[in-house]
Chain A
Amino acid sequence: MKKEQQIDLYYQMVLIRRLEERGAELYQQGKIGGFMHLYIGQEAVSTGLIAAREPRDRVITAYRDHGVALNCGISANEVMAELLGKATGMSKGKGGSMHMADTSKNMWGGHAIVGGHLPIASGFAIGDQYAGNDNITICMFGDGATNIGYFHEALNIAKTWGLRVLWVCENNQYGMGTAVDRASAVTDIRQKAEGYGMKNGQVDGMDVLKVYDAAKDALDYVRKNSQPYLLEIDTYRFRGHSMGDPERYRKAEEVKKWQENDPIGIFNKQLLEKKVATAKVLDEIEARVEEEIAKAVEFAEASPEPAAEELYSDIYAD
């Protein structure tokens, strides 16, 4: 990968991290409502994955979607505005944290029912197959979603019909507070693809370049063969499941151990060691991101609330 692109990936990961840290503060101040699920710790997954897609490939994910939105090119301003429920958010303040989408950037949401977006992802691929194009739908979901019926119906039809879907399981070790081995019959999620005769792979989700390479290979396979592929990406969320998670289900030492594997720290080290970037360049990125986030907060706070008549807009298209 070119140096500029590597540096850009680093920038994206730092952007996600800082935006969410700021988001958490705003949440504590009561400026963000509802549920908010932070991606902190998992930034390398969507950053590497989405960097590997063609612009025509569609991305759909679950409710832990702020990072995915940023990686797809949605601005920090719009993400922050949506978090604050403002009219300038990409979903006009009607979706919130869990429902971020921008079809012009091929980011198709932000879906809050566990597993519910998987058959919809199959549907995108049904539509693309019908249209006769070779677009791929990249569908991201957590380990918890692989235990629900939707997952199995979606994978079955994808394989049976030869749909171009890259199924990406972000295995962050817990479905809410329940560890994978307490909820899933097999702990290697990729094994579940075997039951559908589906090609699959597994990669370390704390290393953005490894994720990128694995995603490239998987996307090539899907495009060339018109077959789905399941990629399991092992990762860890450093924060609770959502804001206000007491975290009784895991030990501080475990979290600490994973935090030593911070994907941003790992990448920072790689960039310096391989002389892709100097410390000065990486520091400048930090400064640039700080400024961008400050402006995003300013933009979001200054943005108007949705107008009262918005309550009744967009219920129907006709």
Chain B
Amino acid sequence: MAKITMREAISQALMEEMDRDPSVFIMGEEVGVWGGTYAVTKGFYDKYGAMRVKDTPIAENAIIGGAIGAAMVGQRPVAELMTINFGFSAMDYIVNQAPKLHYMFGGQFTLPLVIRAVGGGGRQLGATHSQTPDAIFAHFPGLKVVSPGTPEDAKGLLKSAIRSNDPILFIEHATMYQVRGEVPEGEYTIPIGKSKVQREGKDVTIVTYCKGLELSMKAAEELSKEGIEVEVVDLRTLRPLDMEPVIESFKKTNRAVVVEEGWKSYGVGSEIVSRIYEEAFDYVDAPIIRVAQKEVPLPYNRTLEQAALPQVHDITAAVKEVLK
């Protein structure tokens, strides 16, 4: 096992898949000469050239619409949204075209397409550049939404996403590129649509993903010192949603906290809590608590921004609350 950063993991996945399959190419804003605004594709332009690492105009409809078209005619584009917030400019393509084109034409078109998007707050970028709108995208059947929380998962899931024949939105977190983690040596992939228990425990189940996983693992560490053992289930894929490990864990602990970075209302947590109540109501020992972003546009000021984002202490408090 090698310890690498999230950035390196994503970069390795892209490079390995580009080496493996000549139909894979990258397109997006500043992915080439610049090397990617988060340096994920640094060195790619020199290695693969302009045809495989395409610098696009700042025009999200041309990028995502173009990637859809290229995928329909047999290529495997990986389109990059510099931030997921810019995805709103291409909303028609992400939610109204890509998820429909296979179904609506009776399966004639396939879209082996990955849209990599950087999301999340915490970098003082102001309200329009800091959102975690994952739940919106996960609402649409026909789209797959993946959002990893460890380098190992990021690499394995991105490789699977590139090999998949479906349109996949792959959401990375802007503050997690330096997160380090163990990654298996050599070739591996991780299946899309499988949740995973990232830490075992018996007292409370935390259900989370992406940035929420980082926070939840820290909270679990702290709680452990106080003798509370939480089990952390990482969704990894929001659609299709794999509830099996969640329900299995909940039947063991009978208590749960759901942690997400997005807003609480109509969020990922709302879905998870509903599913637990639907599928395991008899096992509920305490009301499930959602930890999420405060219902405000994210402010620039660092203190205010951090006050709006979910923190480790919010999670530890919620766990203690469900144990009361």
Contact = CB atoms under 8 A, between A and B. Distances in A.
Question: Do chains A and B interact in one complex?
Answer: yes
A110 B101 CA distance: 11
Contacts of B96: 113, 116
Interface string A228-254: 000000000000000000000000000
Contact of A126 (B69, B111, B166): B69
Contacts of A216: none
Query: Could you say which interface size class chain B belongs to?
Result: 35 or more
Interface in A103-140: 103, 108-110, 113, 116, 118-128, 130-131
A314 B103 contact: yes
B62 interface: yes
A154 B59 CA distance: 9
A38 to B, nearest CB: 21
A130 B66 CA distance: 12
Nearest to A100: B105
Interface in A31-71: 58
Given A157-B56, A318-B164, A131 B74 contact: yes
Max chain A C-beta neighbours (<10 A), residue from B62, B65, B165: B62
A272 B308 CA distance: 78
Given A103-B109, A315-B142, A123 B72 contact: yes
Interface string B54-75: 1011010110111111111111
A96 to B, nearest CB: 9
Max chain A C-beta neighbours (<10 A), residue from B66, B70, B72, B111: B66
Per DSSP, are chain B's interface residues mostly helix, strand or loop, or mixed? mixed
Interface residues of A, number: 43
Contacts of B69: 119-127
B73 A119 contact: no
Given A131-B73, A153-B61, A317-B110, 20 more contacts: A89-B106, A90-B106, A90-B108, A99-B105, A101-B109, A116-B65, A119-B64, A123-B69, A123-B72, A123-B73, A124-B69, A150-B61, A150-B65, A153-B65, A157-B59, A157-B62, A314-B102, A314-B106, A317-B112, A318-B164
30 contacts: A90-B106, A90-B108, A91-B105, A93-B106, A94-B106, A95-B106, A108-B72, A108-B109, A116-B93, A116-B96, A122-B65, A122-B66, A123-B65, A123-B67, A123-B71, A123-B72, A126-B54, A127-B73, A130-B70, A153-B65, A154-B61, A154-B65, A156-B62, A157-B56, A314-B107, A316-B166, A317-B111, A317-B112, A318-B164, A318-B165
Interface of B: 25, 27, 51, 54, 56-57, 59, 61-62, 64-75, 77, 92-93, 96-97, 101-112, 141-142, 144, 164-166
